[in-house]
Amino acid sequence: MSFPAFMLSLVVITGLIWLLDKLVLAPKRASNQAEPLFVEYAKSFFPIILAVLVIRSFIAEPFRIPSASMVPTLHIGDFILVNKFSYGLRLPVTNTKIIEMEQPKRGDVVVFRYPPKPGIDYIKRVVGLPGDRVGYFNKTIYINGEAIRQDEHEKTVEHLGIVPTSHTLKYEHLGALGHQIALAPNMQRKEVDIIIPEGEYFVMGDNRDNSSDSRFWGTVPEKNLVGKAFYIWMSWDCNVSWACIAWNRLGNSIN
């Protein structure tokens, strides 16, 4: 059972117990008789569980970064928040869209359900929009025949231990805001040339030579989108300090 399904089940169970007590049990109890313990628990936890379900389903959901595929933008151990209404409000469990909002933009960092195994959440950057022709050759993205510019970028203290010394950093001008990418000069990954179908998106990791993305398993259907990543609220990595918290990453927005 998925977490949303589990939370929805708890809301239904505690809500029904509360309703049953109000309509059936409470009228039959003597004025000096205490509530059954299970009723007391249900009444206490119902509003809390409902609030958590509503917030996670319609406002923001936390995720933890488990891999290095989005380095240097996101590091292993980053805890991020994902805006759940950026691309439309969806019902929990069924993921049915009930309110249309904006569409993903080129350069957005998005969380989505991995198409080959929808029970797994992935995070990547949107590169190609519906109808685009996307090419990736010699470590350069081409959108509708135009190469996306990359500028040289120096490594900083923040990158030490995160980006391998053999990798180079570049600043890629994709979308309204640019972002850093990591490239392994001596490694050549799969090259592609594809026209993106309607209602689907081509995504890639910023760690271009260490990312399983649309180059390998195809595009992401719009129905698989979970939301837009926008904020790092915690970063836990015992390689960066004795306290294991990467303080310089807390509160950073995600571009």
Please list the pLDDT of the chain residue by residue as tens digits (255 residues): 788 899 999 999 999 999 999 999 999 888 888 899 999 999 999 999 999 999 999 999 999 999 999 999 999 999 999 999 999 999 998 889 999 999 999 999 999 999 999 999 999 999 999 999 999 999 999 999 999 999 999 988 788 788 988 899 999 999 888 999 999 988 888 999 999 999 999 999 999 999 999 999 999 999 999 999 999 999 987 766 667 888 889 999 999
Cβ atoms of residues 90 and 98 within 8 Å: yes
pLDDT of residue 241: 62
Cβ atoms of residues 70 and 86 within 8 Å: no
User: What are φ and ψ of residue 195, in 5° steps?
Assistant: -100, 125
CATH number given to 60-249? 2.10.109.10
Cβ atoms of residues 220 and 204 within 8 Å: no
Write out 45-73 in H/E/C secondary structure: HHHHHHHHHHHHHHCEEEEECCCCCCCCC
Maximum CA pair distance of the chain?
80
pLDDT of residue 175: 83
Rg (alpha carbons) of the chain, rounded to whole number: 23
pLDDT of residue 242: 63
* Residue among 57, 84, 86, 124 flagged as catalytic: 124
pLDDT of residue 247: 87
DSSP annotation of 236 = B
Taking the domains of the chain in order of start, what are their residue ranges?
3-58, 60-249
Based on the residue annotation, tell me whether 124 is a catalytic residue of this protein: yes
pLDDT of residue 115: 97
Using alpha carbons, select from 183, 198, 173 the residue that is nearest to residue 106. 173
Partnered with residue 101 across adjacent β-strands are none
**23: CB partners within 8 A, 6+ apart:** none
User: What are φ and ψ of residue 122, in 5° steps?
Assistant: -120, 160
Q: Kindly state the tokens that stand for 64.
A: 């933890």
CA distance 225 to 219: 12
Using alpha carbons, select from 188, 137, 186, 141 the residue that is nearest to residue 164. 186
* Residue among 57, 69, 86, 211 flagged as catalytic: 69
Helix axes 37-58, 3-20, angle to 10 degrees: 140
User: What are φ and ψ of residue 239, in 5° steps?
Assistant: -85, -10
Based on the residue annotation, tell me whether 86 is a catalytic residue of this protein: no
Contacts 24+ apart (CB under 8 A), 194-198: 194/128, 194/133, 194/134, 194/135, 194/219, 195/131, 195/132, 195/133, 195/134, 196/128, 196/129, 196/130, 196/131, 196/132, 196/133, 196/134, 197/130, 198/130, 198/131
